[in-house]
Every structure is written in structure tokens, then in C-alpha cells.
Amino acid sequence: MTDPRSIADRLADEPTQVKARVLELLDEISAPLHPREIERALCRAGYSRSQARPIVMALKVLPIIAIGGSMAVRPKSNGL
């Protein structure tokens, strides 16, 4: 069974080194991606570079905080 206390309360009870490491990891996984990194990720997901570029440009203008990897949508096949 999970601890009924909030994550903040549970973290407050941890040693200082654990808290520091948790914050370090959160900073690392929440760091913004550069446009080129987003383009590469889209290419790995099956988009061509010419398809990925306009997507990256569109993403740059949106106030996005996070994108989950499990929600990625594959490009539709164009039948070629």
C-alpha cells in the first residue's frame, strides 16, 4: 500500500542528500529540449525530417510545460 502522505511530506522526511538528489533529477528530466532535440525525437518516432520541422516550429509558439512520451502519435502513412 502506498503512503497516504503527500509527496512533499514524504520528501521532507528524507535525509538532505536524498532531497538534493531528487531535486537534481527533477531538474534534469524537466529541462527544456532544444528544437534540434525535438526534431531528432520526432524522427526517431517515425516522422521524416521534412515532417518534423513544421511540427517543431508549431511547438515553439505553444506554452507547453511537458510532453509525455507514451502519448506520442505516429505519422499517418501516405501510402507510398
Write the pLDDT tens digit of every residue in 6-42: 888 888 899 999 999 998 998 888 888 889 999 999 9
Residue 53 amino acid letter: R
Rounded CA-CA distance 43/66 in Å is 19
CA dist 1 to 4, 11, 24, 41, Å?
A: 9, 17, 27, 36
Residue 55: pLDDT band with limits 50, 70, 90: very high
Residue 80's pLDDT band, with cuts at 50, 70 and 90, is very low
User: For residue 42, with 0-12 CB atoms within 10 Å meaning exposed, 13-18 middle and 19 or more buried, which class applies?
Assistant: buried
pLDDT for the residue 71:
47
